[in-house]
Structure 1
């Protein structure tokens, strides 16, 4: 059980360490570095969605004598729809945009920047919770090593996300401590979402393949809607593409080697 508690906190650790870069870097992240980090995070999330979520969902559906592709397809589309709705409702602002998205609200720019990253972290927390729920349930084909691999992979991609949120907050005039605090707090939603999922573990056994692919769909939404467009905007788009390749390969190796 201790391994599960540690696994749930690993992604948050990545966000906290990334946010701590505000104490080490004097200026905002350079454009090239930001694009490479966004691309890297995209690659990690794509690989995690395929190897850690969709493929296990298909295998599990086959073991339950279901049509293998149905849970993967249905869950994936519902995950996309879920994030689409949240994107339209929650007021948030991306670092590369001037106009906020979601329902109009009289919120500070720093608050909306944090909400944007928090929105990213919801599906990641769900993904970690679902795989660890699979470990607790047993007989799901999900190993502890595979669950830890997913948690580590998400922590790796959370590191640049933490830096990308804390550095702009510093540029907005916040103190280093406040910028760090906001950046770190944006990742708290991940263990919270994971714990809620685990608490419902006994109820989700029949629909676990759907939940795995649901988390994958939500993560892919974030990648396609926000991370990749931001990494490809303006000049030096090839740097973002290289980041995707490196992130995808690293997460694939991590998942196959440990899973």
Structure 2
């Protein structure tokens, strides 16, 4: 059953974002990404700091110093991955309100758009391993972690779709390539189930690595996008969406317990 949960969670994360991107107009997608970035900020921070990290530190026989060291190494690792353009968060696109220059999307997509897809595939593969590790600890933790990953994947994949379309891809081809990229999460989840499952003593450290991924994405990528001078109504909307993300994780955790 655990493997089935992992496959279902990773598959939903990869497919749901593509379905949303396929079902909405270009203008609506641009507005949707802005709100989902705020929502996923709250979800990622709440999942990492209120659920996954406490689970890791409460595991019997763990050393707090070693776990904090793992957290530091994890943050630096994802920083270096992003430096190498292998851990992308493509929420930026022309028309998103950040005053990007013309041809910005074409530059982001790179030659043939495959730099976006390669980075996204590696990101999704890592997410799959993270989901597998969480489900191997408990179904509740797996469900909460999957929720955080899925809600972050939606704005990421929508952003990728917008970038690829603006860079010259047809809508159908952009959606198809994004769906294929999303399936790497399933590969990561299945591989994680068989490889990670044999090393239960490493679970707390894998959970800390998962938390470092969530914290890094929220603090290094999502929050800077929102740190702009905005009309007070948009600022309140940002705060409300972040609060909704926090409330969503807290409610889900309470219901599952």
- Where on the TM-score scale, by shorter chain, does this alignment land: which range? 0.7 to 0.9
State TM-score, norm by structure 1: 0.78
**Distance in 2 between the 1:226 and 1:44 partners?**
14
CA RMSD for the aligned pairs?
3.0
Which residue does 1:156 correspond to in 2?
151
CA distance 1:238–1:31, shift in 2 (3 Å): farther
Does residue 185 of the first structure (1) align with residue 184 of the second (2)? no
Q: Which sits farther off after the overlay, 213-222 or 110-119?
A: 110-119
**Distance in 2 between the 1:88 and 1:35 partners?**
24
Which residue does 2:9 correspond to in 1?
10
**Distance in 1 between the 2:10 and 2:215 partners?**
18
Does residue 114 of the first structure (1) align with residue 117 of the second (2)? yes
SS at match of 2:26: coil
Instruction: Map 1:9-28 to 2 at 5 A.
Output: 9-28=8-27
CA distance 1:77–1:123, shift in 2 (3 Å): farther
Give the Å deviation of 1:58: 0.5
**Distance in 1 between the 2:229 and 2:16 partners?**
28
CA distance 1:168–1:202, shift in 2 (3 Å): closer
Structure 2, unpaired ranges of 5+? 94-99
Which residue does 2:211 correspond to in 1?
216
Deviations 1:38-65 (A, max 9, x none): 11112111122124421110110xx22x
Does residue 254 of the first structure (1) align with residue 255 of the second (2)? no
Give the Å deviation of 1:4: 2.9
| 8 Å Cα contact 2:47/2:145 also seen in 1 | yes
**Distance in 1 between the 2:131 and 2:89 partners?**
25
CA distance 1:256–1:93, shift in 2 (3 Å): closer
**Distance in 1 between the 2:183 and 2:153 partners?**
12
